[in-house]
Structure 1
Amino acid sequence: MAGKYEVFADDEGGFRFRLKASNGDIVATSQNYKTKTSVLRGIDVLRKNAETDKVTDLTVAPS
């Protein structure tokens, strides 16, 4: 089973999503969004950006 996104209402009256791995572990939790539409847009942005293979390692000093 692949990972999945879960949308939920938070304690601040807004919405958040969490990304769960196939084993059920939570990989990431989003910021607060005011509307359900905006949280769904946030998921779409993450999906599109996740397609990149670029990784910037900030623990390595530039040469």
Structure 2
Amino acid sequence: MSGKFHLKRSSNGQFHFNLLASNGQIILTSELYKAKDSALNGIKSVRNNSQREGAFEIKAGSNEKHYFVLKATNGQVVGQSQMYTSRGSAEHGSESVKRHAVEAVLLDEAV
């Protein structure tokens, strides 16, 4: 089973998406977008940049947990992970994005 991009409209009318692994867990969350087309372009950016060397950055939060961000070639963050208990777990999460993003199907619930 492949991953899924889940595109939704938030309560304030903006759009966002999550990338879900094949087990249904959220592995990447986008920022909010004002337009649906912008969110769809964000998904394209995740597909492309997830395969680019150096696109992931592992960061430490103030609570000693770790997370990763995925950056576009211009340095803009296109997605962020949940918090993980260790750096190794965050690295494993970024590898999951690499495995799932390119082939992930789009579930469009942004009506």
Fold conserved between structures, TM > 0.5: yes
1:2 aligns with 2:2: yes
CA-atom RMSD in angstroms: 1.8
Unaligned ranges ≥5, structure 1: none
Unaligned ranges ≥5, structure 2: 61-111
Q: Which residue of 2 aligns with 1:13?
A: 13
1:46 aligns with 2:70: no
Structure with higher RCO (Cα < 8 A, 6+ apart): 2
Which residue identity lines up with residue 52 of structure 2 in the other structure?
A: T
Aligned pair count reads 59
Runs of 4+ residues deviating >4 angstroms: 55-59
Of residues 38-47 and 50-59 in structure 1, the stretch that sits farther from structure 2 once superposed is 50-59
**TM-score, reference length from structure 2:** 0.48
Say if 1:7 and 1:57 are closer, same or farther in 2 by CA, change over 3 A. Answer: closer
How many percent identity over aligned positions?
A: 39
